[in-house]
């Protein structure tokens, strides 16, 4: 049996657990005090970080939101435990990026950032060195994924698309920590200064749609992914958990190096 760790047990974490054979993996999940989700037989809960660390998991997946990255991941890395970070938008905080890198150096391990709901990041990394590169990322989701955000703006779901946000990746990560992690994945690939982010509530959207438009001296490119929303959380795509699981498998194959 391989011991693996989780931070949080929401829709993404549940899907990750089901992506691995139950007979092959013993999961230890860190939950906040008082949380009591129904757990499969091969998943046990702890409520303190030291208990998760003491279990010596081969790797940990953070799947609890941006605040959890700052609260737990540096200590895991310092303890030599490689970690897959699902809440990529947390790295909009440059100081946290520095902390994570330093913690990984202390522990002799690293953190991994999965592609999540996106594709085309290899193209963006390739043009990142070009000074004229410009990228626009658009998140287009059905109103069900933006209920709280629409309510905060005093809007309700109508028949027309509504632009909720347009700005920098850093602003997007802070304003919409549960919806726009993908935007910062784009920023990390090509450089935040080259990216503009839009968020649109669109009743005609075919699932959670991600649109990437890039221009540079190397040419132009357009990527469009229409992802099925996660059954457990319409804010995220079902592809996100698949991507995190794939990143975890790659990390385990590499022995955390």
Residues with catalytic function: 210
Q: Cα separation of 232 and 92, whole Å? A: 26
Residues forming beta bridges with residue 46, ordered by sequence position: 30
> Which structure tokens are listed for 17?
């657990």
Residue 65 Rama label (left phi>0; alpha psi -120 to 50; beta): left
- The SS3 call for residue 197 is strand
Q: What angle do CA 72, 22, 42 make, to 5 degrees?
A: 55
- Report yes or no: 91 and 170 within 8 Å, Cβ to Cβ: no
Of 197, 207, 196, 161, nearest in space to 176 by CA: 197
**Chain centre distance of CA 78:** 21
């Amino acid at each position: 049996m391989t011991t693996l760790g989780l931070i949080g047990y929401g829709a993404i974490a549940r899907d990750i657990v089901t992506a691995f054979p139950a007979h092959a993996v013993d999961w230890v999940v860190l939950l906040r005090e008082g949380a009591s989700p129904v757990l499969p037989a091969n998943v046990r809960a702890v409520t303190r970080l030291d208990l998760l660390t003491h279990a010596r998991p081969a790797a940990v997946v953070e799947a609890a939101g941006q605040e959890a990255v700052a609260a737990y991941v540096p200590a895991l890395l310092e303890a030599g435990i490689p970690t897959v970070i699902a809440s990529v938008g947390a790295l909009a905080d440059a100081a946290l990026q520095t902390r994570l890198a330093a913690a990984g150096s202390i522990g002799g391990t690293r953190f991994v950032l999965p592609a999540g709901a996106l594709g085309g990041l290899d193209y963006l990394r390739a043009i990142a060195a070009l000074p004229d590169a410009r990228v626009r990322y658009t998140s287009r989701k059905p109103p069900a994924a933006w209920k709280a955000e629409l309510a905060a703006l005093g809007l309700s779901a109508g028949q027309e698309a509504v632009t909720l946000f347009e700005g920098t990746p850093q602003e997007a990560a802070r304003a919409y920590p549960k919806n726009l992690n993908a935007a910062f994945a784009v920023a990390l690939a090509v450089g935040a200064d080259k990216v503009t982010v839009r968020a649109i509530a669109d009743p005609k959207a075919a699932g959670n749609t991600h649109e990437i438009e890039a221009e540079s001296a190397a040419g132009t490119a357009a990527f469009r992914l229409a992802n099925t929303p996660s059954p457990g959380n319409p804010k995220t795509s079902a592809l996100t958990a698949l991507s995190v699981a794939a990143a975890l498998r790659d990390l385990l194959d590499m022995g955390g190096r």
